[in-house]
Structure 1
Amino acid sequence: MTPKHQLDLRSRHPNFQTFLDINERESKKIRDNYTCFLDVPYGNEPLQTLDIFPSSIPNSPILIFIHGGYWKGLDKLSYSFIAEPYIKNNITTCIVNYQLIPTVTMESLLNDITTAIQWIISKATMYNGNSNKIILSGHSAGGHLAVLSYLLTENIQPKIQAICSLSGIFNLAPIQHSYLNDILQLNTTDVHKFSVSNKDLSRIKCPLLLSVGGNETDLFIEESKNLYLEHKEVAPITYYEYADLNHYEIVHKLGQDYNLLSEFICATAVQ
């Protein structure tokens, strides 16, 4: 079994609520201060919705962010704060919700993500976006889903300019053999099908940035570092470790100006 202390982040960081409160407070501020379209449906189910913060000029790049929560929790409304540096740089930002396990399976959850991406592509011009200039990003489970959705959906690949994955989990075997599987119910077939680490990453043709906090658990650090080391010769992957940040803190960097993550997104958006 995977040691619980490697995955139970709330026990590792008893002040986790402080970080979640920051997310909520900063997200409300962004929704209050910028033009946004909230709870836009891309499907018929209640959680098949996204929040869109449009660029002020037509034909702008699009950033898509996928939240984490171990595929079973959290909500897009807590991540509106991510949009600010990209709105200021004329990048339309879309923050995606999706149905959660155990209400759906991992396969259905992934289908929500790819459906949302394809919806955004089809509606891009309505929100001043360019459907051929898309950056995928995500944190934790969302970091996994950002990379996996690219690998498993060939028709979106030419439209993706970059992927920014924070604190992703790329080998699902440790999840299957952990306390989390009481809810996730992943079987061996699921682990093989929905892991990233066993895929052919030479199919990735856009820049992929893997980033993790140096104060995260060994498991989270190794997930990103190992994916980089094992595939850097066949794919345009870079790895960056934020020395002192934990799992809750690193996602804040994505919503701030003048750091490696936001500058990576802004730079690849204009290529």
Structure 2
Amino acid sequence: MKLDDAYANVPNIPGGEDYPPRWAAEAAAFREARAPGRDELGVPYGDTPRQAYDIFRPEAAPEGTLIFVHGGYWLRFDRSYWSHFATGALARGWSVAMPSYDLCPDVRIADITHQIARAIQTIAGTTDGPVALAGHSAGGHLVSRMAEPGLLPDNVTDRITTITPISPVSDLRPLLQTSMNDQFQLTETSAAAESPALMTDRLGIPTRIWVGAEERPVFLDQARWQADAWSCPLRIDTGRHHFDIIDALKDPDSPLMTDILG
């Protein structure tokens, strides 16, 4: 369809097809190397097998909890691909929780939004201290949606210090012009309702949006649309594309980690 290539990352990134298997291998090696008994894997938060999260903990009492929501166009991946991206926050003394969620077409994007809200509420209920939200691509959309008043209870939103969408999809209406919508089943109405860039009523949680300077032009547009609508900072990361922008999550001293954790 008209916008299929515009929103296609894998064929437009050198070696793009190699990233997912590399992520999976690095994540598995990270989990294997962790101290026994420190982490919890596959903790359920809902009533389907994919509604579960992993939580990785630092050696000392945690400073807070980073909840990272993965991307994949709401169509692919799960928490097992991303474990190693917890290293930056762990080095700064934070726990890191990573939820999976059901995928389209088995559910709609609005259903996934509510699953992530339930995951965040569950994780917050078993942890203390501040909570930071970050998400990549579709995950950037999902953490942004948490700023809708009433989606999370006050005792959770009061603890959320930052929302950091990384290469987010902020306006879902262009996706109607992609073949992916055969699985999303979005309409103009449902796409608008799920679009962070169109959220006029939002909680005042500090938000900073990141996008790679070498991303597809539509992702630069998507990031700008949300930053403009939310009047929040937009960080354009020089030399980074849609897949390697998240490498900064592994560096405790990176500007991205500073934005996320302060």
TM-score of the pair, normalised by structure 2: 0.92
Q: 2:237 aligns with which of 215, 220, 242?
A: 242
Residue 85 (structure 2) aligned to one of 82, 86, 91? 82
Letter in 1 for 2:135: G
Q: Say whether the 8 Å CA contact 2:215–2:241 is kept in structure 1.
A: yes
Q: Which residue of 2 aligns with 1:108?
A: 111
CA distance in structure 2 between the partners assigned to 1:2 and 1:55 by the alignment: 46
**Conserved 8 A contact 1:2-1:175:** no
Alignment of 1:80-229 (within 5 A): 80-124=83-127, 129-130=128-129, 133-152=130-149, 153-155=151-153, 156-200=156-200, 203-229=202-228
Separation in 1, partners of 2:230, 2:255: 21
Superposed displacement of residue 63, structure 1: 0.2
Cα offset, 1:14, TM superposition? 5.3
Q: Distance in 1 between matches of 2:196 and 2:222?
A: 10
Match of 1:72 among 60, 72, 75: 75
Identify which of 238, 252, 256 aligns with 2:247.
252
In structure 1, the gaps of 5 or more residues are none
Q: For 1:260-271, what aligned pairs fall within 5 Å after superposition?
A: 260-267=255-262
Deviation at 1:109, TM superposition (A): 1.2
Using the TM superposition, give the Cα deviation of residue 238 of structure 1 relative to its aligned residue in structure 2, in angstroms. Answer: 1.3
Q: In 2, Cα distance between the equivalents of 1:149 and 1:177?
A: 26
Identity %: 25
Residue number in structure 2 paired with 1:15? 15
Alignment RMSD, CA only?
1.7
Instruction: Name which of 33, 37, 41 aligns with 2:40.
Output: 37
Deviates more, 1:99-108 or 1:21-30: 21-30
Matching residue of 1:5? 5
More helix as a share of residues: 1
Partners in 2 of 1:54 and 1:3 — Cα distance? 41
Is 1:30–1:83's contact at 8 Å kept on the other side of the alignment?
no
Deviation at 1:107, TM superposition (A): 2.1
How big is the shift at 1:13? 2.3
| Residues 109, 230 of structure 1: alpha-carbon distance in 2 compared, 3 angstrom cutoff | closer
Q: Structure 1 residues 174, 54: closer, same or farther in 2, change over 3 A? A: same
CA offset digits 1:111-145 (Å, max 9, x no partner):
11001001011111xxxx42xx1000100000000
Contact 2:162 2:261 in 1 (8 A): no
Cα distance in structure 1, aligned partners of 2:43 and 2:146: 21
TM-score by length of 1: 0.89
Range that drifts further, 137-146 or 35-44 = 35-44
CA contact (8 A) 1:2 1:174 kept: no
Q: 1:7 to 1:242 in 2, by over 3 A?
A: same
- 1:154, CA displacement in angstroms? 4.7
Give the unaligned 5+ runs of structure 2: none
C-alpha distance in 2 between matches for 1:120 and 1:200: 27
Kept after mapping to 1: 8 A contact 2:51/2:101:
yes
Aligned partners of 2:212 and 2:239 also within 8 Å: yes
Q: 2:230: which partner in 1? A: 231
Pick which of 10-19 and 182-191 moved more.
Answer: 10-19
What letter corresponds to residue 246 of structure 1 in structure 2?
H
